Chains A and B, each alone.
Chain A
Amino acid sequence: MNNINFLKPDKSNLNLFLILGLSLVFISIFDVFLSSFFKINATGFLPTSISFLLPLIIGFIGLHFIRIEYSGIRRLDEINKNFNNNNFNAVLSLLIIFIIIKSIPPVLSWTVIDANISGHSKEACTGDGACWTYIKVWLRRFIYGLYPNEEQWRINLSFISLLALGSVGYFATEKFKKYLTLYYVVIYPIIAFLFIFFFISGGPVFFDFSYGIIASVVAIIIGFFVPNKFKLYYFCFVPLAVYLSLNLFILPEEYVELGKLEGLNWVETGAWGGLALTFIVSFFCLIFCFPVGMALALGRRSELPFIKYTSVVFIEFWRGVPLITVLFMSSVMFPMFLPEDFFLDKLVRVIIAISLFEAAYVAEVIRGGLQALPRGQYDAAKSLGMGYWKMHIFVILPQALKLVIPGIANTFLALVKDTPLILVVGLLEIAGMLQMAKTNPKWLGYSMEGYVFAAVVFWIICYAMSKYSYNLEEKYKTER
């Protein structure tokens, strides 16, 4: 036990340093813990600045004592390696631990202990903490917007059935896997549109539940069993012909009438809102921007100068302007460009605008994938005698799209995060509903709760999406 050098702890006095160091670290953390949870200032007799810095100093000395290389104790070596490998890291580790301890009580008391959730009015909120009653009362508005309460089952029904239809891909057997692309790119969007148009908006305008539609759907399903040789021709002509012939020539009018759902009330798009609107807008923009982006990417890679430069100008224009000006354009400038008697709903205009905007970004992502493909793929396809379209559809695009899945997922993530912006043209999705609820005279002063709620909702959605895209990236990385 001779020769104790406190400036340079070493292995020969391991136990002494260990006990001394750990107790100092413990004291420092305990001091912060006391002052943060029980508001006891154990070092209050000292001058303010010293008592403020004391835990840090004590903890730092303690960490210095236990920094013993190759001590032979596995746990200690791990701590030293991960938290305490030099003075700078020791201070930072201590600071982070202190900040975490300090921030737990206020956060906890605001969100849980002092918060209120019971009751149905502002009077129920008596504590100092958050007033979750506000969220509870306004929850329907945040999710469905101004959509009438008794009609909200229509939104639920549509979303649940669309989700169910969308998950078909997971259950498809090998035999049907090859039709999945067709299903997701063509059929699913149409079904989704029908659902949203007829159920959510409740429009009886073109609502055609006649046997013509049913027959053509049946014809499409039958089409999957037609021999490959005739499949293309079959899909091009038969369903349409069946529909037209049944509707126009054979079945009388009253059968068409029979299919109409008169019970649904028309809910104009101005009343749509909340989280439902966020989903609707992102969903449609996602569907529309993908084909447009693909066409633009191909156009930009084209050898024909006019097509190439048109695509370049188009892409660079949309990428150069902020979304907010695009929305302004769609709401104030675009109606000027349309014939006077031609009315386009605001929501439709906004969806078109966002789709074009995102298409430019999708185009750049896809172009990246196209450029990453080795030239040999093009040459091989050409040497097999394939033309431009055959080469791209069967050889180039499948590989390129596989490469850019993470990029596209990121673009879609950005799209979802951009949707709250439609607030500036008066469409009240969740951020807009928050602004509206905030100015309600009965519920003044609860904006914090609203933002925390919306932030949590968006965070969950976006985090799930980003993790999913990361998984996809990992999955396809190994395959190449």
Chain B
Amino acid sequence: MKFNIKKIAPQLLTLLFVILVFGFFSYNAQLNMENRGIDFGYGFLSQESSFDVQFSLIEYDGSHSYFRAYLVGLLNTILVSVIGIILATIIGVIVGIARLSSNYLIKNTAAFYVEFFRNIPLLLQIFFWYFAALRALPLPQDTESIMGVFYLTIKGLFIPAFIWENFNIFLYSIIAAVVSIVVIKNYAKRKQENEGKQIPVFLISIGLLLILPLLSFLIGGVSLSFEIPVLKKLAKTSYIYEGGVGIPPELIALTLALSLYTATFIAECVRAGIQGVGKGQKEAAASIGLNPNQILKLVVMPQALRIIIPPTTNQYLNLTKNSSLAAAIAYPDLVLVFAGTALMQTGKAIEIVSITMLTYLSLSLSISVLMNWYNKKIAIKEK
């Protein structure tokens, strides 16, 4: 092997630099921790946390461990991200298509929406929704219900809770429906390739999705009832709704701000994607006799998706990372619960910040792996 000093020397220098920086930092950290009497370790995760969290998806109180608190924060972060991603995608796609509308008013309204929400910092939007808009809502006792069952109050949105019996059978029926839809779709595809006949897959899928769960209700013994929130007096002037599901205002403000903000970027991606499909493609599709719906579904969308997916993935990642702004309005997400309260209590800065960062890193990586897989699936398969 040829020994090339020009290639070895810069690498050695970089290595030396990295080692020196790490060495310097870890040496100082060790010294500092010794001086302050802090020991390094992740043992605190199993200790009792002794702080409460306002809103959690799993059972949690002060007697649980720090690890459980971490899980509570993580689940809350994932909840916000998932709701935000779904909402942002819906709004973004609608607005993106609206920007290409032939209607002058719709086009400009969509453009106004994009320019307006994109140019205001997300933190300000969250503050606006939480401290200004949602604070203007009525108190629980003054609230008028929406359709008799929803209550939108200053203390959050109260919706009826579902009470299931034999929920697992219902779940199985849905899984069965999904599996059979996949099977039918593959069969239809094969049939079309071999014989050129089309099967109305969409109608069949909808039918299956409706009929199988319905069967589970009729035969499987599944039953569903609702628990409607009821006003309850706590003190002389303090009321709260009980029963049902209470969605805290922090969550509402956060999802609103996140999805409205991210939707503007997704809308731009969608617009760019649809515009990126050549006009010739549409004309060619029309000239072989496809109708407008088929053109959109079979020709434009598959090509536009290839352009849309990679930047949209980035926006999903951004949304997930931006959900950490929750800490600013005290929504108990990972940053607030773990990097905030738990860090204050234990003082284990290095451990907790590193765990938090690694968690976000793995969340980001898993989203990008998922979207890369999807992107690869729809990419051009060159023969």
A interface list, Cβ under 8 A from B? 81-83, 85, 89, 92-93, 96-97, 303-307, 310, 317, 319-325, 328-329, 332-333, 336-340, 417-421, 423-424, 431, 434-435, 438, 447-448, 451, 454-455, 458-459, 462-463, 466
Nearest CB on A from B51, distance (A): 18
Q: How far is the CA of A285 from the CA of B196 in the complex (A)?
A: 60
Chain B: which residue is nearest A422 at the CB level?
B123
Within 8 A of A (CB), among B295-331: 321-325, 327-328
Partner of B124 from A81, A333, A455 at Cβ < 8 Å: A455
Judging by beta carbons under 8 Å apart, are B11 and A304 in contact?
Answer: yes
- Known A-B contacts A83-B104, A325-B339, A340-B35; the reply to A454 vs B124 at CB < 8 A is yes
Within 8 A of A (CB), among B318-348: 321-325, 327-328, 335, 339, 343
Judging by beta carbons under 8 Å apart, are B103 and A451 in contact?
Answer: no
> Would you call B128 an interface residue if the criterion is a C-beta within 8 Å of the partner chain's C-beta atoms?
yes
By a CB distance below 8 angstroms, the chain A residues around B103 are 82-83, 85, 89, 92-93
> Would you call B192 an interface residue if the criterion is a C-beta within 8 Å of the partner chain's C-beta atoms?
no
Given contacts A325-B356, A421-B325, A462-B119, 20 further A-B contacts (CB under 8 A): A89-B103, A92-B106, A96-B105, A304-B7, A307-B10, A317-B361, A322-B321, A324-B325, A325-B353, A333-B353, A333-B354, A339-B28, A417-B122, A438-B131, A447-B127, A447-B131, A451-B124, A451-B132, A455-B125, A459-B116
Judging by beta carbons under 8 Å apart, are B15 and A306 in contact?
Answer: yes
With most chain A CB atoms within 10 A of its CB, the pick from B32, B103, B118, B324 is B103
Q: How far is the CA of A422 from the CA of B263 in the complex (A)?
A: 24
Judging by beta carbons under 8 Å apart, are A320 and B365 in contact?
Answer: yes
Q: How far is the CA of A96 from the CA of B14 in the complex (A)?
A: 60
Q: How far is the CA of A85 from the CA of B135 in the complex (A)?
A: 42
Chain B: which residue is nearest A338 at the CB level?
B28
Judging by beta carbons under 8 Å apart, are B127 and A434 in contact?
Answer: yes
Nearest CB on B from A414, distance (A): 9
Q: How far is the CA of A83 from the CA of B127 in the complex (A)?
A: 37
Q: How far is the CA of A329 from the CA of B120 in the complex (A)?
A: 26
By a CB distance below 8 angstroms, the chain B residues around A339 are 28, 31
By a CB distance below 8 angstroms, the chain A residues around B35 are 340
What are 15 pairs between A and B in contact, CB < 8 Å? A83-B103, A92-B106, A96-B106, A96-B109, A306-B15, A307-B11, A320-B360, A323-B321, A333-B354, A336-B350, A418-B121, A421-B325, A431-B127, A451-B127, A459-B120
Judging by beta carbons under 8 Å apart, are B106 and A93 in contact?
Answer: yes
Partner of B120 from A89, A304, A458 at Cβ < 8 Å: A458
> Would you call B115 an interface residue if the criterion is a C-beta within 8 Å of the partner chain's C-beta atoms?
yes
Judging by beta carbons under 8 Å apart, are B28 and A423 in contact?
Answer: no
Partner of A463 from B119, B122, B360 at Cβ < 8 Å: B119
The secondary-structure label for the interface of chain B is: helix
- Known A-B contacts A340-B31, A458-B124; the reply to A333 vs B132 at CB < 8 A is no
Judging by beta carbons under 8 Å apart, are A325 and B335 in contact?
Answer: yes
By a CB distance below 8 angstroms, the chain B residues around A320 are 360-361, 364-365
Judging by beta carbons under 8 Å apart, are A336 and B28 in contact?
Answer: yes
With most chain A CB atoms within 10 A of its CB, the pick from B26, B33, B123 is B123
> Would you call B349 an interface residue if the criterion is a C-beta within 8 Å of the partner chain's C-beta atoms?
yes
Q: How far is the CA of A419 from the CA of B122 in the complex (A)?
A: 10
Nearest CB on A from B191, distance (A): 34
Judging by beta carbons under 8 Å apart, are B123 and A421 in contact?
Answer: yes
By a CB distance below 8 angstroms, the chain A residues around B321 are 321-323
Judging by beta carbons under 8 Å apart, are B101 and A89 in contact?
Answer: yes
Within 8 A of A (CB), among B219-247: none
Partner of A328 from B119, B131, B135, B339 at Cβ < 8 Å: B339
By a CB distance below 8 angstroms, the chain A residues around B164 are none
By a CB distance below 8 angstroms, the chain B residues around A97 are 105
Judging by beta carbons under 8 Å apart, are B324 and A322 in contact?
Answer: yes
> Would you call B25 an interface residue if the criterion is a C-beta within 8 Å of the partner chain's C-beta atoms?
yes
Nearest CB on B from A95, distance (A): 9
Nearest CB on B from A471, distance (A): 15
Judging by beta carbons under 8 Å apart, are A458 and B121 in contact?
Answer: yes
Nearest CB on A from B361, distance (A): 4
Judging by beta carbons under 8 Å apart, are B105 and A83 in contact?
Answer: yes
- Known A-B contacts A423-B123, A431-B123; the reply to A447 vs B132 at CB < 8 A is yes
Nearest CB on B from A142, distance (A): 13
Judging by beta carbons under 8 Å apart, are A458 and B119 in contact?
Answer: yes
Q: How far is the CA of A325 from the CA of B324 in the complex (A)?
A: 8
By a CB distance below 8 angstroms, the chain A residues around B106 are 89, 92-93, 96
Partner of B119 from A81, A336, A466 at Cβ < 8 Å: A466
Judging by beta carbons under 8 Å apart, are B123 and A420 in contact?
Answer: yes
Judging by beta carbons under 8 Å apart, are A417 and B121 in contact?
Answer: yes
Chain A: which residue is nearest B8 at the CB level?
A304
Interface string of B113-144 (1 = CB under 8 A from A): 00110111111110110011001100000000
- Known A-B contacts A423-B123, A459-B116; the reply to A304 vs B128 at CB < 8 A is no
Nearest CB on A from B49, distance (A): 19
Q: How far is the CA of A447 from the CA of B136 in the complex (A)?
A: 11
Judging by beta carbons under 8 Å apart, are A325 and B124 in contact?
Answer: no
